[in-house]
Amino acid sequence: MIIGVVGLGLIGGSVAKAIKHSTPHTVLGRDISEPVLRKAILLNAIDDALTDEKLSTCDMIIVATYPSTCIDFVKTYSPKFKTDAIVMDCCGTKSAVCRELFPLAEKTGFTFIGAHPMAGLEYSGFDNAQRKLFNNASIILVPPQNTSLELLQKIKQFWRNLGFSDFEITTPERHDRIIAYTSQLAHVVSSAYIKSPTAVEHTGFSAGSYKDMTRVARLNENMWTELFLENSENLGKELDIVINNLTQYRTAIKNKDATVLKELLKQGRLCKEKADKGEERT
């Protein structure tokens, strides 16, 4: 196949590198940064630039950009797509993207499937892209309702060849509801946690728990602002829950109420055990 990758940041760059390393496909890349594009070609992460003219040659197009940019790109260039082309995004939210692009794909003739690789680093950009980033990772696929089983198997095999080992198929709404908790809330909490004045004194006093809590505070504020606001209702509900829970802990500690505090900590331990058991069953 000829595969176009739009956006050569951490995820798009890693997708391009993984395709080049593990498949015989030709990879064409596109990025707003000309230096990034040149570097990708020099490092053999892509075979050539994905120009407007070459869009019509692509059997598959993977758009690894912010949600709004993804929607704008596909709307603008969809007349150039092959009618049997497969187009997938890599955005961190799905409702807004799929709401716009499912009907456009049906009208125009190409196939659009939402995809969210559950892999990443606290660093962004092409310089941090890795061909092994997706090894044993999970990917969430969000297909339209009429997608054939044969096509889904083809899509799964494509991503499997890049290293993914776990596949979740869901709806845009369910994706955004769960991602609000598993990803977005964690980034908000990490960002808030690191703002303590005590953080600058952590050296020599911190270990794994500090590193785990603060790792994703080193985020791309432009991208995460868009993702948070795209999913504000779901994320807002999760924030209300965690704020309520923290308030209970604060009250018990302030009142030196060992009985309540012990019960709160026990509940947390039991919730973790229950969540881990659910993970083992999947």
For 69-110, how does the pLDDT look when each residue is reduced to its tens digit (9 = 90+)? Answer: 999 999 999 999 999 999 999 999 999 999 999 999 999 999
| Contact indicator for 235, 177 with CB cutoff of 8 Å | no
Calculate what percentage of the chain has a pLDDT beyond 70: 99
- For 108, the token pair is 């125009």
φ/ψ (deg, to 5) at 142? -125, 85
- Any idea which architecture 2-170 has in CATH? 3-Layer(aba) Sandwich (3.40)
Band of the pLDDT at 161, cuts 50, 70, 90?
Answer: very high
Position with higher pLDDT, 172 vs 279 = 172
pLDDT at 145 over 60: yes
Complete edge-to-edge strand list for the sheet that includes strand 48-49: 48-49, 26-30, 2-6, 60-63, 86-89, 111-118, 138-142, 166-169
Band of the pLDDT at 277, cuts 50, 70, 90?
Answer: confident
d(CA 195, CA 119): 25
pLDDT at 158 over 80: yes
pLDDT for 234 equals: 98
pLDDT for 106 equals: 95
HEC per residue, 208-262: HHHHHHHHHHCCCHHHHHHHHHHCHHHHHHHHHHHHHHHHHHHHHHHCCCHHHHH
Band of the pLDDT at 253, cuts 50, 70, 90?
Answer: very high
d(CA 175, CA 169): 9
Which residue ranges make up each domain of the chain?
A: 2-170, 175-281
Coil, helix or strand for 169? strand
pLDDT for 94 equals: 98
Band of the pLDDT at 280, cuts 50, 70, 90?
Answer: low
**Interacting residues of 97 by C-beta distance below 8 A, sequence separation 6+:** 67, 70, 71, 89, 91, 114, 172
Strand partners, 29: 5, 49
pLDDT at 279 over 70: no
- Any idea which architecture 175-281 has in CATH? Orthogonal Bundle (1.10)
Coil, helix or strand for 141? strand
Kindly report the length of the chain: 282
- For 254, the token pair is 């302030």
Which run of H or E residues covers position 16? helix 10-22
Q: State pLDDT tens for residues 26-46.
A: 999 999 999 999 999 999 999
**Residue of 138, 152, 140, 137 whose CA lies nearest to 94:** 140
pTM of the predicted protein model: 0.92
- Mean pLDDT rounded to a whole number for the chain: 96
Q: State pLDDT tens for residues 63-76.
A: 999 999 999 999 99
pLDDT at 205 over 70: yes
**Residue of 114, 92, 91, 90 whose CA lies nearest to 102:** 114
pLDDT for 282 equals: 53
